Amino acid sequence: MENFSNEPIDINSLPRYEEVPLNALDPNYWKVIVLNICISILLIGTASGLVFLLKKETTAYIVPVIIAIVVFGAFLFVLFRMSFKRRGLAVREKDIIYSSGILSAKTTIIPFSRIQHVALNEGLFSRMYNLGALEVFTAGGATGNVKIHGLEINLANKIKELLAKRVNNGI
Amino acid sequence: MESSNYDFRTPRKQSATGIIFMFLNTLQKLIRNLAIPLFVIIFKSNIAARYYIFLALGILIILVAIFAYFKYHSFTFYLDEDDKKFVINEGVFVKTNLTIHLDKIQQVNINQSLLQRIIGFYTLQIDTAGSDKKEGTIRAMDKTSAEELKKRLLSRAENSDNTEEFRFVESVDEPIVAIPFLKLSPLTLLKIGATSNYGQTIALVIAFLAAGFQSLKDIIDIFEVDKNQVGQAFQQGVTLLSIAFMIFGVLIFLLIFNIVRTFIKYFDFEVYRQENSLVVNSGLLAKKNTFLNAYRVQISIYTQNYFQKKMNMLDMRMKQNSVTQSDKENKNSDIEIPGCSTIEKDKILTMIFNEVPKEGIKLSPNYRYVFLSLFFWIIIPSTILLFINNWRYPLVDYVPYFLTYTLFAATMIYYSYRNHRLFVSENYVIKQQGIWDIEHQIIQPHKIQAITIKQMLWHRSANIGHITCHTAAGDINFKFGNYDTIKNLMNYWLYQVESSEKDWM
């Protein structure tokens, strides 16, 4: 009998976080991810190409290495696609919900009244697509913080302002 | 607060004899850093050169004295009661101005090092809350003014805080110089030393031995002792019997070391109750005085092992907001109270929570909890052993050892599973964990900063998940719980955090 209950408040009447529809990240963020994957693969490819050029005796391994790189690239592609699809964000009246994770689905909820401050980061590629990463800090240390990549910059700013307003009102 | 002879409004310097302390302190640092290289230089140089070295040393010491003088004169502090701030100005070459707002002060400690004890001084240290890691330290104060300043700093902090801090109204009338409500006698200290904190001691001894071996190696290198000789002597000495003796010796040594360490750390240990806070005094060589505001406690922990249970003894630890601080300071802001009885534990908990926390509903993890541990501690080692055996020895020789190990590991895993429990009641979350030392961590839901729920892909069909409550003093985890239950808990705790008017600190 592990079903939790408590007399004064009916647990089932509480708002349920798991029923809140989550907003997916901006589709443009997928392009940023693809760009990043391509650059990594390109770097690995160039490095192995240099090795082949400089050390002639390694040329025998050209085909397996190319296959390995392609497989690795495809693997990264699939992995990040899954990860991208599983990330989601929702802002409720009193808290912010963020979900992510492939093998382990992880959901973190931070009440507005516990937010210390909010930061908005813009990467080089993200800026090209008008995206930003929202970082929410709590007093709970690194594990209690949340960083949400791939938000449309206006939306991110709106959320940031909303959070900042709630934080100030809350205290 | 009534007025006193101590005026902190105008900028003050430290005690005049503070110059001596600054001088000695800097000198001590200098000696500590230079002793070994200096020794080597003097040893290796000729007589003429030694003369110059001593001359240089003399000049250095004079410079240190001059520096100490200027340092003393440039260090001023004052209390601005109107603006509610405490200001410290310091620095000889680089001037620093440190302003601490009184309502941000979390803790004021008065400590005394061995050196200070000789001269009769105290260090006053101000811990502040918040992410800006400003800390004020006044190194040389006499006892009465240090205590007066501490009182002023904290009284301001309390007055500016609102409402719910005045929980212990009934105790306000009590005189400030209270009778300690917990005092550790030497016998209790002996018991504590004999039963607890083995882990810390072992870590200390290992660190100490590692340093010792390093210097032993250095000595061997310097004197070019024949390494083979030493090695041979070592090998001949190590027989099975001597190994048994050695283990026995090490255990006795650890026990004695642990007891000595306990005496040094907790000698003269006293806990006072002062209005709504706890004051803890302890220490043989360096007196430590720590101040704890009940409502600033984030996690309260009590720990007990089998021996301690037989003697009706517990160790308590109160964790304050400390995530933003570095690890070393982290330990400092924790308050440890070893060797309480069950009654004293309840008294301290009542001070913090106004009641003894109720355990409430008990949640147990799923049996899958043991799988990961089994994999790491039994399956991986046995696989490695099998591989090694394929190369060298017949397997049979190792079976008894391995069986013993497996039995030991399995017992540990079983106990770790059996003790992993979560108790939830309306006002408290209590996490129980541990194998030998069984620990209870108590938090109040309104101290939660954020909550994370996690589910592994392959646990979906089994309906299992993990939940973590992030607090300002660390995380509280409950693993392998029923997923529906922990989802309910998440909703419930969020409701409590969001509907509560109480501030987390």
The number of residues in chain B equals 505
Q: Is A108 on the interface with B (CB under 8 A)?
A: yes
Residue B215 has a pLDDT of 64
Q: Does A108 share its domain with A130?
A: yes
Q: Does A79 share its domain with A32?
A: yes
* Residue whose entry in the numeric block shows the structure tokens 């701030």: B85
Count of structural domains, chain B: 3
Q: Does A152 share its domain with A94?
A: yes
Q: Would B440 be classed as within a structural domain?
A: no
Residue A169 has a pLDDT of 58
Residue A16 has a pLDDT of 87
How many angstroms separate the CA atoms of B314 and B306, rounded?
Answer: 11
Residue B2 has a pLDDT of 37
Q: Does A140 share its domain with A104?
A: yes
- Cβ contact, residue pair B497, A113, below 8 Å: yes
Q: Is A9 on the interface with B (CB under 8 A)?
A: yes
Q: Would B258 be classed as within a structural domain?
A: yes
Residue B9 has a pLDDT of 77
Q: Are strands B76-80 and B464-471 parallel, antiparallel or unpaired?
A: unpaired
Among residues B146, B162, B178, which one ends one of the domains? B162
Residue B41 has a pLDDT of 77
Residues B337 and B348 sit within 8 Å (Cβ to Cβ): yes
Q: Does A94 share its domain with A57?
A: no
CATH code, domain with B97: 2.30.29
Q: Measure B361 CA to nearest chain A CA, in Å.
A: 8
Among residues B266, B297, B319, which one ends one of the domains? B266
Q: Does B152 share its domain with B34?
A: yes
Q: Would A12 be classed as within a structural domain?
A: no
Q: Does A42 share its domain with A113?
A: no
CB-nearest partner of A144 from B470, B488, B489 = B470
- Cβ contact, residue pair A16, B492, below 8 Å: no
Give contacts of A113 with chain B, Cβ < 8 Å: 497-498
Q: Does A76 share its domain with A102?
A: no
Q: Would A133 be classed as within a structural domain?
A: yes
Q: Does A99 share its domain with A154?
A: yes
Tell which of B498, B503, B505 to mutate to test the A interface (max A CBs under 10 Å): B498
CB-nearest partner of B489 from A4, A103, A114 = A4
The number of residues in chain A equals 171
Q: Would A143 be classed as within a structural domain?
A: yes
pTM (2 decimals)?
Answer: 0.68
Q: Does A75 share its domain with A93?
A: no
- Cβ contact, residue pair A116, B485, below 8 Å: no
Q: Is B455 on the interface with A (CB under 8 A)?
A: yes
Give contacts of B484 with chain A, Cβ < 8 Å: 3
Helix, coil or strand: residue B273: strand
Q: Does A134 share its domain with A108?
A: yes
Determine what percent of chain A falls in helix, strand and coil, rounding each to the nearest 5. 55, 25, 20
Q: Does B113 share its domain with B150?
A: yes
Q: Does B243 share its domain with B376?
A: no
Largest Cα–Cα distance of chain B, in whole Å?
Answer: 84
Residue B204 has a pLDDT of 74
Among residues A37, A68, A83, which one ends one of the domains? A83
Q: Does A40 share its domain with A66?
A: yes
Annotate B55-122 with DSSP letters as a single string: HHHHHHHHHHHHHHHHHHHH-EEEEETTTTEEEEEE-SSS-EEEEEEGGGEEEEEEEE-HHHHHHT-E
Q: Does B190 share its domain with B158?
A: no
- Cβ contact, residue pair A139, B448, below 8 Å: no
Residue A145 has a pLDDT of 86
C-beta neighbour count of A78 within 10 angstroms: 11
In chain A, which residue's Cα lies nearest the Cα of B421? A2
| Sequential pLDDT tens for chain B (505 residues) | 334 456 777 777 777 777 887 788 788 888 877 777 777 777 777 777 778 888 888 898 888 888 888 888 888 888 887 777 788 888 777 777 777 777 767 777 788 877 777 777 888 888 765 444 456 788 788 888 888 888 888 775 554 443 333 333 333 333 445 677 778 888 888 888 887 777 777 777 777 777 666 666 666 665 555 555 555 555 555 566 677 788 888 888 888 888 888 888 888 888 877 776 778 888 777 777 777 777 778 899 999 988 888 888 888 888 877 544 444 444 456 788 888 888 888 888 888 888 888 888 899 999 999 988 888 888 888 888 777 766 655 666 677 888 888 899 999 999 999 999 999 988 899 999 998 889 999 999 999 999 999 999 899 999 999 999 998 888 899 999 999 999 999 999 999 888 887 777 6
Backbone angles phi, psi at B87, to 5 degrees: -120, 135
Joined together, the tokens standing for residue B111 give 């400590």
Q: Does B83 share its domain with B115?
A: yes
CATH code, domain with A111: 2.30.29
Give contacts of B495 with chain A, Cβ < 8 Å: 9, 14-15
Domain that holds residue A33: 28-83
Residue B339 has a pLDDT of 82
Q: Measure A139 CA to nearest chain B CA, in Å.
A: 5
- Cβ contact, residue pair B472, A141, below 8 Å: yes
Q: Does B128 share its domain with B26?
A: yes
Strand arrangement, sheet containing B96-101: B76-80, B85-90, B96-101
Q: Does B20 share its domain with B119?
A: yes
Q: Does A104 share its domain with A75?
A: no
Among residues B266, B283, B310, which one ends one of the domains? B266
Count of structural domains, chain A: 2
Q: Would B380 be classed as within a structural domain?
A: yes
Q: Does B194 share its domain with B158?
A: no
Give contacts of B326 with chain A, Cβ < 8 Å: none
Residues B289 and B281 sit within 8 Å (Cβ to Cβ): yes
Among residues A83, A101, A129, which one ends one of the domains? A83
How many angstroms separate the CA atoms of A61 and A58, rounded?
Answer: 6
Residue B257 has a pLDDT of 84
Q: Would A98 be classed as within a structural domain?
A: yes
CB contacts under 8 A, A 11-40 vs B, are 11, 14-18
Domain that holds residue B28: 3-162
* Residue whose entry in the numeric block shows the structure tokens 């440039």: B74
Closest CA to B497 of A94, A13, A20, A163: A94
Give contacts of B490 with chain A, Cβ < 8 Å: 17, 109
- Cβ contact, residue pair A107, B452, below 8 Å: yes
- Cβ contact, residue pair A3, B321, below 8 Å: no
pLDDT tens by residue, A1-53: 445 554 556 667 788 888 888 888 889 999 999 999 999 999 999 998 888 88
In chain A, which residue's Cα lies nearest the Cα of B459? A104
CB contacts under 8 A, B 462-491 vs A, are 468, 470-472, 474-475, 481-482, 484-485, 487-491
